Structures are given as structure tokens and as C-alpha cells.
Structure 1
Amino acid sequence: MATTIRLFADQRLLCGEGPAWDAGNGRLYWTDCGGEAIYAKGIADDAPKLVLSGYHAASLALHESGGLVFGGRDGFFQWKEGEVPRLICDRSDHMEVNDINDIIADPEGRVFGGQEAFREDEAYDTGYLFRIDPDGSCSVVEEGLHLSNGLGFSSSCDRFYLVDSIPRMIYAYDYDRATGAISNRKPFIRLDKDDGLPDGMTVDQDGFIWVAKWFGSGISRYDPDGKLERTIDLSAAQTSSLTFGGPDFRDIFVTSAAQYWETPLAPTGHDFSFPRGGSVYHIVQDIAGKPEYKAKI
């Protein structure tokens, strides 16, 4: 099957992020975390719909009871269309829970979310990874992160993946589904500087890892041993996140960002002019993903 790439939403979002496919209503949700907005659109819809504004949402997960959980600058929230978002958590172990970047629900309905601690122009504190259990309790499960990004689980649910963008590293942990514990962090995939920064990620039904590459103009697929299997190039330098969706989960939706960030972290000689991104892309291809787990908080 040939790979087809088209625009799903022709936008200029400052930082498109957090795509989440809701199979129940056949819609994709995504955020503009730079513009404090959440959008939704079905495949056959003409244009995206703004469904929530005024809240900083960097990432999304579906909730078992309907609606979404989102993480952002002010913590974790639960939200259904037509309602005011409900704060789930903004404190843990006597510390603030803030600057949340990517989040993910696990098979038992817990939600993991990591911090964006990196500040290029100043010293930055240690970034944490938080876990919220279904009873609403929040705990720190990892520290020492720079810019926590994509999260995922292996097909057998014995491994947990975490992207830390600044060192261009994807880590693998042992994961205990019964308790939600992660342990034994190991380097799994490290991108070269010329590849860009690893950002959002997802895992397909064969256990292969798909990663969006900021400054890398596309997405890449790695096998369960961390070997590069393929790359799909896009006409946006700042691809930020991705998810599977569509009627058989063979469609890939990729967000991107229009914001200007000139940094020495970029590949040598990188062109910071347009096209940087800002739109959402729709890729139809022959590899099947799987539904993401839903939160039960």
C-alpha cells in the first residue's frame, strides 16, 4: 500500500500537540499549547472546531467516562465538552505539579505526565515524572528529566518508554502493570543531532516505536530493539507529536508547530525560516496502530 500524506487541518498553531483519536465519535482531538486551545475534527469534516479555550493544555488522553484528561502549565485536568474543566491535581508530596508536557494513560487507567523543566536562558530545576492513580493520589516516579516528552508502553506491557528531548534520548524502563511502578531506566534510542529532537511518540500493534522529530521534518519508526526501520518525511520542520486513528487504526495524525525557536540544539545549518509547521497532517499507510489506553481517574 502506498503512503498518502495530506493536510488534515491547515492551521498555523504556535505549538500543535497532544493528538488523541476518539474512536467512539470518530474524531481527532489536539491542542495548541501556545494558544491555550483544544480542537477537534472528524475525517470527513471540512474544518476543525475549537472546543475549549483559555486553558493551557500541552497533551491529551481519553477518559473512560467520556471526554479528556489534559496536562499543562497548571497541572492535570479532566474535561467534557460543554463543561468547565475539573482540576485533578496540582500538588504532590508538598511540591507543585506544573509545566506538564506529554501525558499517557496506562492499562489500569493511571495517568503519567512529565515536566518541561528545561529553560535555555537560565538554570533549570530537575524535571519530574508524575503518576496519578485512579483514586486521585499523585506521586513522583522519576526525576532528573530535562524536557519530558512522548510516553508509551510495549505491546506486552512490560516496558515503559519515555522521551527526554534535550539529550535526544528515549529511555526504556521495566513496568509493573499491577502497581504502576517503573524501574531500571536504560538508554534505548538516542537520536543524532542531525536527526533533530525526539518529541511525541506512540507504539503500533507490532511493538514498533514511532517518534516525531522536532527540527527533523518527519516521523521515524524503530523496531523493539531500537533499530531504525523507516522514516516518513513531512513538509514541516517542527513535527511535534503523533497518534494512530481512523476506522482501522492505519491512519497516522501528526501535529506540528509554527513557533520560532532558534537554538544551538538544532541540527548544524538548520534553516529556521518557514515552513516550520503549525498544521496537522494525515498519513494513510499499511501499518496498524492500536487504541491508546483511557484514564480512569
Structure 2
Amino acid sequence: MPVEIDLLPVGVAGLGESPLWDHRSKRLWWVDSTGPTLHACDAEGQNAEHWVLNQPIGSIGLAKEGLLVALADGFYRFDPDGAKLVPIAQPEMAPATRLNDGKADRCGRFLSASMCTGANVRAGGLFRLDADGGCERLEDGVTIGNAICFSPDGDTLYFADSMDGILRRYDYAGDSGTIGPRADLVDCRDQGSAPDGATVDSEGYIWVALVLAQAVACYSPEGQLLRSIPLPLPYPSCPAFGGPGLDTLYLTSIANSGHRLVADHPDAGRITVIRGLGVTGLVEGVYR
């Protein structure tokens, strides 16, 4: 079936990331990582609001109250009404790294990966934030951590280091938040790109932003490429399902990442909206 592709009529980000549909307030959230600005609007891009924060924003998640925000140096709770940040935890990170992509699991934890901001490659990791504020490092040797998402039953974690181009899978224990051995699922370089952000639909298929190929790809849990949809904007960065029926796919994009990725498209940094995919997303997990 043909799909309908539009641009959301709101906001331009320098480094758009972490779209997040809040099923409770019926709002779409996303960030301009280097703004550093947190944005929100309704499903159609109306009633927009924004908040300027005090350091680069890696990612956001739903929290029991407000939002969970992974800033450069750690995890915070954000109250949109009071525009207040409350520190939760600071993981032990190597110098010249910061938190990047992140997602809540199905059991109330939040996972976030770090990225290297200098020449110290492979110094990043994957971290788990527990409900009591404790942090545990789950993986090492990461340069740009991305593509964090979970299978519908929560038993599988997907994750990527964009610099090696591989979408990985891990068994994930919901009761403890521990991971099994790494298994390489997809080499996204076969599609001409590293993987950036990712999400999972209600059938368990993985949707990955192919940042260098100007496309979003859909893979089966076994790693088979099922669809690849060309996009109107360069450097798509992260997808998320949202809208009242969870049947709209929103994709942030990059205008200027602050290093390698700089776009000259007049609409670079806006959000692409895809309707008519014939699939629905999942309600996002909530950090508790």
C-alpha cells in the first residue's frame, strides 16, 4: 500500500533526536540535542511548546511524573509545569563522553548509551538506570550508542554502535535488567548507512533510521529486511510511533550535528510524518 509522507508543521532542530509519544497527555516530545531544547506538540504539530535546558540532551523517556531526561552528564526528572530538573543519578562515564540514545524498558527501568565526543573512541558504554536510582554498566567499548529498543514482550533488547554499523540483539531479563551475550542481527551498511535511532512495532518488527541513506528500514526479528522507505529529508535520526492510534511514524532529522553531518536542505531538522504503514506501535515504557 502507498504511504503518505508529510513534514510536521513545527520546529526545526539542529540535531533532532528522541521522538516520544506520551499516551497520557496525547503529546509528541522530541529534543534538539545541541539546542539544547526540549520540544512538545500535539499529533498534528499544533500547540507547540519548548524548554531550553542547561546541557546537551541525549534522550528522553516517560516517567511516572513528568519526563526522564538523559542529559550529557546523567539522568534527571523533568517537570514540564514547573520547568524544573531534578537529578536522579550520574553514571560513571569516561572523559569526553556523554549520554546519548535511550529508552525505557517494559518494567520501569531506563537504558541509555553514551557516545564519544572527542578522539577517545570506544570509551562509551550502555547503562541501566534502576527505579532506586542505581546505575549499572551493561556494555563497554561503544563509540556512538544508538538504536535502543525492546521487543513487545520485553525479553529482547536491540542496540547499536553507529560506528560499527551493526544492529545487535541481546536477551533481556525483565525481572533483573540483565542482558545475555551479544548477537549481531543486521549489518545496516548493506543499505548504505549506519543505524541511528530505532523503535519496535506491535508485531515485533524493528524500524531503524538509516541516517546516511535518507531512509527508514523495517527488519524482522530474524534480521530480514522487509521494507525500506525513502524520506524527503537528509539525515533521519530516530523514529517513534505515535498519534491517537499509534499508527503514525514520526522521524526526527539532523540539520547540523556539530561535527560531520551538515545538511543544506531548506527543511533539514524538521520531523517527517509517515501515515498508512498498516502497522501500529506500542505504548512507551514508563520509568518508575
User: TM-score by structure 2 length?
Assistant: 0.91
What secondary structure sits across from 1:99 in the alignment?
strand
Separation of aligned partners in 2, 1:130 and 1:97: 16
- Per-residue CA deviation, residues 104-151 of structure 1 (Å, 9 max, x unaligned), is 1112111111100264xx233521111111111111111111110121
Structure 1, unaligned runs of 5 or more: none
The partner residue of 1:244 within 237, 241, 244 is: 241
- Structure 1 contact 12–257 (Cα < 8 Å) conserved: no
User: Are residues 159 and 230 of structure 1, via their aligned partners in 2, closer, same or farther at CA, if it must alter by over 3 Å?
Assistant: same
What secondary structure sits across from 1:192 in the alignment?
helix
Amino acid at match of 1:103: G
- Structure 2 contact 97–116 (Cα < 8 Å) conserved: no
Match of 1:230 in 2: 227
User: Are residues 61 and 260 of structure 1, via their aligned partners in 2, closer, same or farther at CA, if it must alter by over 3 Å?
Assistant: closer
User: Are residues 224 and 203 of structure 1, via their aligned partners in 2, closer, same or farther at CA, if it must alter by over 3 Å?
Assistant: same
Separation of aligned partners in 1, 2:52 and 2:280: 30
Separation of aligned partners in 1, 2:280 and 2:54: 35
User: Are residues 211 and 167 of structure 1, via their aligned partners in 2, closer, same or farther at CA, if it must alter by over 3 Å?
Assistant: same
Match of 1:4 in 2: 4
Match of 1:217 in 2: 214
The partner residue of 1:280 within 265, 268, 271 is: 271
Match of 2:60 in 1: 60
Match of 1:295 in 2: 287
Separation of aligned partners in 2, 1:113 and 1:88: 14
Amino acid at match of 1:18: S
Separation of aligned partners in 2, 1:38 and 1:224: 32
Match of 1:163 in 2: 160
- Per-residue CA deviation, residues 33-68 of structure 1 (Å, 9 max, x unaligned), is 011100100024536321343342121100123x11
What is the Cα deviation at residue 3 of structure 1? 1.2
Amino acid at match of 2:279: I
2:32 paired with 1:41 = no
What is the Cα deviation at residue 159 of structure 1? 1.3
Match of 1:190 in 2: 187
- Structure 1 contact 239–277 (Cα < 8 Å) conserved: no
Match of 1:116 in 2: 115
What is the Cα deviation at residue 156 of structure 1? 2.9
User: Are residues 193 and 68 of structure 1, via their aligned partners in 2, closer, same or farther at CA, if it must alter by over 3 Å?
Assistant: same
2:71 paired with 1:72 = yes
What is the Cα deviation at residue 281 of structure 1? 1.5
Separation of aligned partners in 2, 1:61 and 1:247: 18
Amino acid at match of 2:107: E
- Structure 1 contact 9–48 (Cα < 8 Å) conserved: no
Match of 1:153 in 2: 150
* 242-251 or 97-106: bigger deviation: 97-106
Amino acid at match of 1:252: L
Match of 1:107 in 2: 106
Separation of aligned partners in 1, 2:271 and 2:186: 26
Aligned CA-pair RMSD: 2.3
What secondary structure sits across from 2:221 in the alignment?
coil
User: Are residues 75 and 261 of structure 1, via their aligned partners in 2, closer, same or farther at CA, if it must alter by over 3 Å?
Assistant: closer
* 186-195 or 35-44: bigger deviation: 186-195
Aligned residue pairs total: 286
The partner residue of 2:199 within 202, 211, 217 is: 202
- Per-residue CA deviation, residues 15-43 of structure 1 (Å, 9 max, x unaligned), is 00010101111110000001110010002
What is the Cα deviation at residue 165 of structure 1? 0.4
What secondary structure sits across from 1:189 in the alignment?
strand
2:25 paired with 1:25 = yes
- Identity over aligned residues, as a percent? 29
Separation of aligned partners in 1, 2:246 and 2:157: 21
